[in-house]
Structure 1
C-alpha cells in the first residue's frame, strides 16, 4: 500500500483551505492528445483528467476531494482490498493515458499535492533526472517473464513403497528428499540460464521477489519473476528467444511464461538509471505484468 509523503499531504478537516487536492499520475515530455485525456477516467469522485505543464515536462493530474484523499481517510480506504484495487486501477488508467503519446514516468499511487503549484514545483525540482529517465525509456517497453519449477507430487508415494520396516522407510524418505533437492537445483539452474539469455536482448533487467503459490494459484514454486526493458526494435527477437527457451525448458518439466508489452513501471525510477541490472527485494506493483 502506498503511503503519502508528508510534504504532499493536505491537512483536511473543517478548516481545510482546499476542497480538492491535486493527484499526479505520471510525468511525460510528450503530452497526450486532448481527446485521449478527455475520455480517460481517474479516481471516482474526482474531476476530469487534465494535462498540467511543468516547463518542458507535463503532468497528468486530477482534482480529487480532499475529504476522501486526506492522509487518514485514504489510509483507511486503502486498508480495504476492494478500495485498494479500485485505486490501483484508477492510477493505472491515468498512467496509460500519459503513455499514449510517448515515454512516461509513473508516480507512486496516491501521489498528492495541496495544489497545482506544489505539484509543478516538485516536478521542476527533479526535472533533470526525470528528463534523463524519460530519454532512457523512450521507444522501450517492459516484458515480464516467469519461470515455474516442477512440483514434488510425482515423488510423494516413494516413502510408501516397499517394505514397511523403519530403516527402509527412513532410507526411502532420505532418497526422496535428495531427489527433490536435486530436481529443484536443476530447475533453479534452468531459471538462471533463462535470465542470463534474456538479458542479452534487453537494455536493463530486474528480478522481483518470486510470488507465493497462493498468489500464483499454482501448485509449483515460482523460480524466476523477472522484468526486462527491451527496445521496441528488438521486440520480435526477444519474443522469439522466450519461445525457444520455453520449448527447451519443457523437457525438464520447467515452464517459462511471458507477458507484455507493458508500461515500464519496473524501470521508471531514478535509481534504475544507475542500476540497470538491479535485483529488487520487493515485488513492484503488478497492475501490469
Structure 2
C-alpha cells in the first residue's frame, strides 16, 4: 500500500458540534476530524507520493497545481469557520501520521485555546487601496519660460535641457503623489482599526498578483466582531474618494491573526508556501 500522510487544514475546539460533512479537500480527498485534548483538527489522508517532501517541492513550482490546492484548502477552512471559531493552518502542512497530529494538539493545546478565544465570534475582512500613478505626472511643470524651459534651451543650444527639467518635475510630482497617497492610506488604516478588534498590514501586492496597474498603497486585514460587519463596511464607505479606490473582501476565516508557527519545528513532512 502506498505510504500516506495527514494533511491538516485547521484546528478548532472540540465542543461536540457537528462539523461540515461530505467535504472534499486537496486532491479530492475526504475531510475528517481528529479529536484530542479538547481540540479537533480537520484533516485529509493524502498520498506521500504526491504530498511527501520531495514531490511537494517539485509541485510547488507548478502555479496551476498550487492554485488548485490553495482553493481546496481555503474551501475547507471556510466551511469549518462557518460553524466554529477556527485556527487555519498553513497551506501544504502534512504530517506522517495521525498520531503526530494528536501530539501537536497536546503540546500546543494552550496556544490553540488562546488563539481560538481571540478569534471567536470574529471574522477577517480585507481592504486594499489603489491610486492611479498616472495622475502623479500630469502637471505640465517645466514647460515654457520662467524656469529655463524650452525657449532658454533653444537659445543656449542645449535642446535636452527642457526635457530634463520636465522629467525632474514629473518625478517630483510623482513622489509628492506617493507621499499623499501613503498618508491617505495611513489615515484609512487608522480609521478602520478603530472599528476592528485587531488589524494587520500586509505587504502591498505586485501588479501581477493584484491584477491591477495602479499603486497598491494599503493591503490591510481587520478582525471584526461578527455583529459589527455592517458598521465596518459603512466606515469604509465613508472613507472612499480623494482619488483612492478602496476594495473590500470578506468576511474570511482569520488567516492573518493566527500567529502559531508550530509547523516549522514540529513537522516531519512539510511544504512552506
Which band: TM-score by shorter chain? 0.7 to 0.9
Counterpart of 2:25 in structure 1 is 42
Task: Give the greater-gyration-radius structure (CA).
Answer: 2
Query: When the two structures are superposed, what TM-score results if normalisation uses the length of structure 1?
Result: 0.79
- How much has 1:83 moved relative to structure 2? 0.9
Gaps of 5+ in 2: 145-149, 154-158, 262-272
Q: Does 1:243 align with 2:243?
A: no
- How much has 1:175 moved relative to structure 2? 2.2
3-state DSSP class of the match of 2:118?
helix
Q: Is the Cα contact below 8 Å between 1:139 and 1:231 reproduced in 2?
A: yes
RMSD across aligned C-alpha pairs, in angstroms? Answer: 2.3
Question: For structure 1, which segment, 228-237 or 170-179, has the greater mean C-alpha deviation from structure 2 after superposition?
Answer: 170-179
Q: Distance in 1 between matches of 2:103 and 2:63?
A: 33
Work out which of the residue numbers 226, 242, 252 in structure 2 matches 1:262: 252
Counterpart of 1:171 in structure 2 is 165
Pairing of 1:24-35 with structure 2 (within 5 A): 24-29=8-13, 30=15, 33=18
Distance 1:159 1:169, change over 3 A: farther
Query: When the two structures are superposed, what TM-score results if normalisation uses the length of structure 2?
Result: 0.83
- How much has 1:153 moved relative to structure 2? 5.4
Q: Is the Cα contact below 8 Å between 2:143 and 2:162 reproduced in 1?
A: no
Q: Would you say how many aligned residue pairs link Structure 1 and Structure 2?
A: 249
Q: Does 1:199 align with 2:184?
A: no
Q: Is the Cα contact below 8 Å between 1:31 and 1:101 reproduced in 2?
A: no
Pairing of 1:1-289 with structure 2 (within 5 A): 19-29=3-13, 30=15, 33=18, 36-38=20-22, 40-44=23-27, 46=29, 48-152=30-134, 155=137, 158=140, 162=144, 163=150, 165=153, 166=159, 167-246=161-240, 250=241, 252-270=242-260
With CA pairs under 8 Å and 6+ residues apart, which has the higher RCO, 1 or 2? 2
Q: Distance in 2 between matches of 1:227 and 1:112?
A: 27
